[in-house]
Structure 1
Amino acid sequence: MRIFCLLLLWACAAQAQVASLPAMRAGQVSVSGLSSGAYMAVQFEVAFSRTVIGAGVIAGGPYFCSQGSVLTATTTCSCTSELLLCRVRPGGTQVPELIALTDWFAAAQTIDPTSALASHRIWMFSGSADSVVPPAVSNDLYTYYRHYVDASRISYKRNLNAEHAMPTDSYGNRCRTLGSPYINNCRYDAAGQLLNWIYGPLNARNSGALNGRFIAFDQSEFIALPAWHGMADFGYLYIPPACDSGAGLGCKLHVVFHGCHQDPDSIGATFVRHAGYNAWADNNRMLILYPQAAATFTNPNACWDWFAHDDTRYAQQTGRQMAAVKRMVERLTTPP
C-alpha cells in the first residue's frame, strides 16, 4: 500500500508523513487565489493589510461580497446556484455598500486600517469566457480596489478568452474548458505574472525539475478540529533550496488559496504541483504556502469560507479560517 501511494498518489504519501510547519524567518508576505480562493485572498489581504504587501486575484470579487448570504454568493457574486438564475450584472455587488462595510469593520478594529491598502500592489485576472465568476464581478472588484489603491498599483488582465480555471502556459485542460482540476493551459503563466507584479521583476523561473522540497504539515496546530471548519487535516509548504538554510531569512512568503473542488480529497496535490508557483519560487528565494480547505455538510465543494458556511466572522481577523492562516504566516515569518 505504501508503494502504491508513493508511485501513484503523491498526496497520499505526503498525508502519511505530515509534519509540523517549521518556524521560518521570511518576510514580504503576499497572497493569491482562484475562485473561492480569490475571495479568500481578498479577505485576507483586506483584513490583514498591515501584514500583506499585495495580492493576486484570479476570478474573484469584492471584499465581503456575499455579506454572509449563500444566495448572494451563488447568484450575485458568482453563477453557481443550481436552483436559481444567475443575477450577475455590472455593479450588482453593490460596491459602495461593501466599501462602507469595510470602513465600518476597520473602525471597529476587526480588520486592519484601510489606509494600509494604499501601498499594496494588486494583480487581477478575469477570463472573458468565465461562466462561474463572470467579468462583471471582477470589474466590481476593480472598482472596489480603486477606492483604496491608486490605479498605477493595479494590473488587470481581462482580454484572454479563458474559462473559470487557473491559467498556465504548460499544464491543464484547454483554455475554454470548465472542469476538474480547474487548471487550464492558456499559454499564459498567471502565477508568474502576478508574482512579478507584486514583487517587481524576478529572476527567470526554473525551467527544469524543481530543486526544492514539499512539506505536508499539520493544520490542526492552527485550528482545532479543522475538518469541522472546512479545512483539511494537512496543508503544504514548498521550500526552495535558498530558503532551507538560515530558516528562510531573506526569503519572501506567498500564500496560495486553491479554489472549490481543488482540495486534496478532490484532486490530491495537483493544484499544489501544477498551478505554476513553485518554479518561480526556486530561483527567487520564495516560500509558497498552500493552506488546504475540505468539504463539509454545509460546504460540499470544499470552498474557502467567503459566505459564512462555518463562521459569521469569516471575513474578519477573528474568522476561524482567517485566524488559522494568519497563525501559519506568523510561524513562517517569526524568528525561531
Structure 2
Amino acid sequence: MIISALLRLLALLAVFVCSAVLPGQAEPGSLPPMRAGQLSVSGLSSGGYMAVQFEVAFSASVMGAGIVAGGPYFCARGNLGTAVTVCSCTTGLPWCGVSPGGTNVSSLADITNRNAAGDRIDATSNLAGHRIWLFSGRWDTVVPTAVMNDLQDYYRFYVPPENIRYRTHRSAEHAMPTDFFGNQCSVLGSPYINNCGLDAAGELLGWIYGALNPKNGNTPAGRFVEFSQDEFLPDARSHGMAATGFLYVPPGCEGDGAECRLHVAFHGCKQNADFVGDAYMRNAGYNGWADTNRILVLYPQAATTFSNPNGCWDWWSYDDRSYAERSGRQMRAVKRMTERLTGQP
C-alpha cells in the first residue's frame, strides 16, 4: 500500500514538472473581457459529467449541451465507489456494476429537484428550452451505453423529447469521435480522440445552435489565448484545476467578441494539456466550426492531484462536497470565466 501510494505521488510530480506549460507557450495572461452570447457546453467522460452538472446548475445561463460518454447529474452521489462501478467502469477490475437503469434516474431527479428548491442550482424549468445532443459508442468500455441511456432518461424529466438528439455508433470506444483525426474508432487509448468518420463537435454545435455555415477545414485559422485559471480559483492546482486554461478566438471574434457565441468544451480524464499537449484543443473538432460561425471556444483545464491522479473534473467530490452545485469550486471558477467572456456581472 505504501509503495503504491509513493509510486502514484512520483507519477503526479513527473506530470507536474514536465508538462505544466505547453511547449512554445508564453507566460499566461488574463482572460480578456468580451461580450459573447448564447452559452453552451459539451464534454467527454469526466468532462461529460462536468458539462451535465454545469448545465443543470447554471441552466438560466446555458442554452444547451453536448455529452459524449457521460452520465446523469449527481450520478456518483459524492462517492468514489459509486462513480467507478455504477456510473463508469474504471476500477481496473474485470467486472463492473454498470447495468440498465443502475444509476436510479428517478432518485437523481429527486435530488436535482431538492437542490433547485434549496436554491443550490438554478430552477429546473429553465431546462425546458435547452437543446441536448448525446453520443454513446456501443464498444465504450469506460462509460457503457447503459449509463448514457440513463442520461437520456434523466433529461426527459426536464427537456421535451424533440429537443434531445441521441446518437450511437456500433464500433466506437471511449473517445471523442471525429472525421479527420485520432486512433481507429474501436481503440481505447491516448489522446482519446478517435477517427470514426463522425464529426461529433460539428453535430452537437449544429444541434444546439441550429444550422451552421460549413467549416472551411480542420486547421485553426484563429488564435489560442493562454490565461491564468488562478484568477478564477486561487491556487487552482490544489483544487484539481490547472494553473492555466485556453481560449480559442476565431477570426470573426477579435476585439470584444460582440455577436459571437461561446462554447465551453470540457476535456476528459488524461486529456488535459499535461497529458496530451494541445491535441484536444486542436483536434477535437470544434475550431473549424468556430472559424466559420463566430464561436469562441473555452477549453478550461483540470489537473492532477493526489486524490485525482488522472486529471479528471470533479464529478464525485474529490475536492468539494458541493461539486455539483453553483457554489462548487470548479463550477464557480468556470462560471466566472464565462461571465468574463459574456460581459455578465
Q: Residue 61 of structure 2 aligns to which amino acid in structure 1?
A: T
Instruction: Indicate which of 324, 329, 334 corresponds to 2:338.
Output: 329
Matched, 1:277 2:290: no
Question: In structure 2, how many angstroms separate the alpha carbons of the residues matched to 1:63 and 1:335?
Answer: 25
**1:45 maps to 2:55:** yes
Q: Distance in 2 between matches of 1:305 and 1:258?
A: 12
C-alpha separation in 2, matches of 1:216 and 1:206: 24
Partner of 2:131: 121
Cα deviation per residue 1:149-170 (whole Å; 9 max; x = unaligned)? Answer: 0110000001342000000000
Q: Deviations over 1:7-51 (max 9, x none)?
A: xx992222x331110000000000000000000000000000000
Matching residue of 1:260: 269
Counterpart for residue 57 of structure 1: 67
Corresponding residue SS for 1:30:
strand
Secondary structure of the 2:125 match is: helix
Structure 2 stretches of 5 or more lacking a match? Answer: 1-19
Amino acid at match of 2:112: T
8 Å contact 1:219–1:234 — kept in the other structure? yes
- Counterpart CA distance in 2 for 1:181 and 1:197 is 25
What SS is found at the alignment partner of 2:24?
A: helix
Q: Please give the secondary structure, in 2, of the residue aligned with 1:152.
A: helix
Name the aligned partner's letter for residue 203 of structure 1: N
Q: Secondary structure at the match of 1:323?
A: helix
Corresponding position of 2:196: 186
2:157 equivalent to 1:163: no
Q: Which runs of 5+ in 1 are unaligned?
A: 1-8
Cα distance in 2 between the residues matched to 1:264 and 1:135: 27
The corresponding residue for 2:89 is 79
CA shift in 2, pair 1:274/1:209, >3 Å = closer
Q: Is the 8 A contact 1:65 1:98 kept in 2?
A: yes
In 2: Cα distance, 1:210 partner to 1:236 partner: 14
* Number of the residue aligned with 2:311: 302
- How far residue 262 of structure 1 moved from its aligned partner, in angstroms, is 0.4
Measure, in 2, the Cα distance between the counterparts of 1:249 and 1:208. Answer: 24
Q: Describe the SS at the equivalent of 2:333.
A: helix
Q: Where does residue 23 of structure 1 map in the other structure?
A: 33
Q: Equivalent residue for 1:3?
A: none
Q: 1:152 aligns with which of 159, 162, 165?
A: 162
Distance 2:264 2:295 in 1: 10
State the SS of the aligned residue for 1:144.
helix
Residues 319, 181 of structure 1: alpha-carbon distance in 2 compared, 3 angstrom cutoff = same
CA distance in 1, matches of 2:242, 2:221: 26
State the distance in 2 between where 1:194 and 1:93 align: 24
Q: Which runs of 4+ in 1 moved over 4 A?
A: none
What is the correspondence of 1:78-117 to structure 2 with a 5 Å cutoff? 78-83=88-93, 85-117=95-127
AA at the equivalent of 2:331: M
1:253, CA displacement in angstroms? 0.1
TM-score when normalising by structure 1: 0.95
Aligned mates of 2:163, 2:189 — CA distance in 1: 32
- Report the residue type matching 1:43 in the other structure: Q
TM-score for both structures, normalised by structure 2: 0.92
Inter-partner Cα distance in structure 1 for 2:92 and 2:177? 25
Provide the alpha-carbon RMSD of the alignment. Answer: 1.4
- 2:9 is matched with none
SS in 2 for 1:179: coil
Deviations 1:255-309 (A, max 9, x none): 0000000011111111011000000000001100000000000000000000000
- Residue 12 of structure 1 corresponds to 23
